[in-house]
Amino acid sequence: MAGRVGVRVLGGVFVLWAAATLTFFGLRLIPGDPAQAILGGPGSQASAEALAAVRAEYGLDQSIWVQYVQYLGRLITGDLGSSYSLRMPVAEVIGAQIGGTLLLAALSLAVAWAIALGLATWSTRGGRVAGAVASGLEIVAAAVPHFWLATVLVLVFSTTLRWLPAVSTPGPAGLVLPVVTLALPLAGFLGQVMRESVLDALASPFVVSARARGETESGVRWRHVLRHGALPGIALSGWAFGWLISGAVVVETIFARPGLGRTLLNAVQLRDVPLVIGVVLVVALGYVLMTVLTDAASRLADPRLAQPGATGRRVADPVLTPSGGSR
């Protein structure tokens, strides 16, 4: 057990290091001078003295490898540095912006789950037509890009019907459109995998035996089928977190909602290296934590995973395909 935790922690540290390194070098490969971000943004006509002073102060006159090592050194001590463009410590910027994005992501994940479960349950009861309808809805939802969906929702619910604000406001009404924009495509993905898994479970021997024991239809569904149906959804939720954060870049920009996504976009455009890396690290950390959480959730939903010697991946496969030939 201790070994497993150790491997997990090491894996997490590796992910964080890789994220910081790729971002650091990636930002240097695209055109644009970080010194300009400090001196009033792109196109500034800063003097030679000012540029030299800034390069010396921020260590930008050193070789990229020296800068990289120095940067990693500071990261290890927990110092994320200071944002060039916002003139604030990166940790402070992230602290101010992370709440809104986490709330948005958590609500969207919850709404997506609710829609996906509802659709999976309804469609597997409603026969062939319902299955085809659900499948069609899921494919369309999963394929819709966020920017398009957001614009259409604004046109319908803000401009025409005037039910909801176009620009995100602090209250619950301001959250509805951003959450729906993020949740619908995700519900499409989750719904597809869950419905298949529910169908598989319904045809499996343990359901037959549960029915033979006299279990009611809802008992079969809630106690047995749902657990199986939810497993791939849980596994997908770790991935969904990263996907929601990337969606937040678009959604926060369109709905003018403060948050990490909008911060990241601005920071990349201004070549604000410390802020970009700071946000990327926080998102990577969130991704690592979500993976651990979904792993734990899978164990709760599927007690077989908790048995000694079992590892998540090996046992998950037979669960996903309990009776391949029955369909």
CA gap 65, 67 in Å, rounded: 5
Region 249-288 residues binding another protein, contact defined as CB under 8 A: 253-256, 258, 262-263, 266, 269-271
Give the binding range for another protein (CB under 8 A) out of 35-43, 68-76, 103-111, 316-324.
35-43
- Give the helix/strand (H/E) hosting 220: none
> Does residue 102 touch another protein according to CB under 8 A?
no
Kindly tell me which residue out of 60, 86, 102, 301 binds another protein, with binding defined by CB under 8 A.
86
Q: Are the C-beta atoms of 70 and 62 separated by less than 8 Å?
A: yes
> Does residue 41 touch another protein according to CB under 8 A?
yes
CA gap 47, 273 in Å, rounded: 22
Minimal distance in Å, beta carbon 158 to another protein?
Answer: 5
Closer to another protein at the Cβ: 24 or 113? 24
Kindly tell me which residue out of 16, 75, 116, 166 binds another protein, with binding defined by CB under 8 A.
166
Question: Which amino acid, residue 258?
Answer: P
Region 180-239 residues binding another protein, contact defined as CB under 8 A: none
First to last CA, the chain: 39
- Give the helix/strand (H/E) hosting 165: none
Q: How far is CA 314 from CA 6, 199, 304, 317, in A?
A: 20, 22, 11, 6
Give the binding range for another protein (CB under 8 A) out of 86-94, 120-128, 192-200, 308-316.
86-94
Give the binding range for another protein (CB under 8 A) out of 70-78, 91-99, 183-191, 217-225.
91-99
Separation of CA 5 from chain center: 23
Q: Are the C-beta atoms of 195 and 128 separated by less than 8 Å?
A: no
Binding site for another protein (CB under 8 A): 30-33, 35-51, 53-54, 85-88, 93, 96-97, 151, 154-155, 158-159, 162, 165-167, 169, 253-256, 258, 262-263, 266, 269-271
